Amino acid sequence: MSRVPLRTETKAATERLADAGVPSPRFDAESLAAHVLGIERSRLALAPLLEPEQVERYRELVERRARRIPLQHLTGTAPMGRIDLAVGPGVFVPRPETELLFAWALAQLESVHAPTIVDLCTGSGALALALANARPDAAVHAVELDPAALTWARRNADATAAAGDTPITLYAGDVTAADTLTELNDRVDLLVANPPYVPDDAELDPEVAEHDPPLALFGGADGLRVIRAMLPTITRLLRPGAAAGVEHDDSHGAQVAALFTAAGYTATTEHRDLADRPRFVTATRG
């Protein structure tokens, strides 16, 4: 086989992925091509031809994506802030929507020197590690219950520390337990959480239903079981006047806001994502 035009391959891949029902076929086709070539997606135009072995590898990855294996499982990484996280089977894949919660968190910390930050339900360590990267003066603590996810978080934490980022402190624990992080009671300047929040009967895309761990997805019949149960933990950790941001399902933003308001929080705000869907709630401890 001779070298093949990249444009021809990505066009065919886009059509294959669209036929398979992949939500973003062109993006995924180009992302896989960039992965095979070892370059940024924005630089694909600089690599007009694929070598025969690259064509073979690319077509194999496209077929696996057409079987609805998550894109991030195929590339092995998912971005958050300025870092790339290792992800794969056994850990929740960070979503682009969570970047909005990350951006909000950074804005809250602009006037806080050497903040203490907590990330509950850290999964791959996405929010905790992105915040530690952006704020090297911070002390970042992250909690995860699932042993498989915690293994991924430790792998990512080790990688970012080796790259020169400030290390984070990881804990194996239940975010709803009364003894979790008690040494930080009333000391936390900012808390973020991306907990399990999908209602148990929700219909999910194959990438989610078949590949994300159920422990990271489902939050009971109404999706609020973990959020409701972790609220006392959030309250005892935050210092008075500090804020929390909690991601939630797009079906119950108002309910999450109501939970914070009922717990005595002020400045409770519902935030929408780039698709204009309710995505996370922020609130300040009174």
**Known binding residues for S-adenosyl-L-methionine:** 144, 194
- Cα separation, 107 vs 270, whole angstroms: 16
State the angle between helix axes of 52-66 and 6-19 in degrees (0 to 180), rounded to the nearest 10.
Answer: 10
First to last CA, the chain: 68
What value, to the nearest 5°, has the Cα angle with vertex 68 and ends 66 and 70?
115
Would strands 169-172 and 188-193 be described as parallel, antiparallel, or unpaired? unpaired
Point out the annotated binding site for substrate: 194-197
Alpha helices in the chain (DSSP H): 6-19, 25-37, 52-66, 71-75, 98-108, 126-134, 147-162, 206-209, 214-217, 225-237, 253-262
Beta-carbon-side half-sphere exposure of residue 238 (alpha carbons within 13 Å): 25
Length of the chain: 286
Place of tokens 């990438």: 207
Place of tokens 């939970």: 259
The answer to whether 40 and 34 have CB atoms below 8 angstroms apart is: yes
- Cα separation, 197 vs 214, whole angstroms: 11
Residue 218 is classified by DSSP as B
CB atoms within 10 A of CB 41: 13
- Residue 186 gets the label, from left (phi > 0), alpha (psi -120 to 50) or beta, of left
Point out the annotated binding site: 144, 194-197
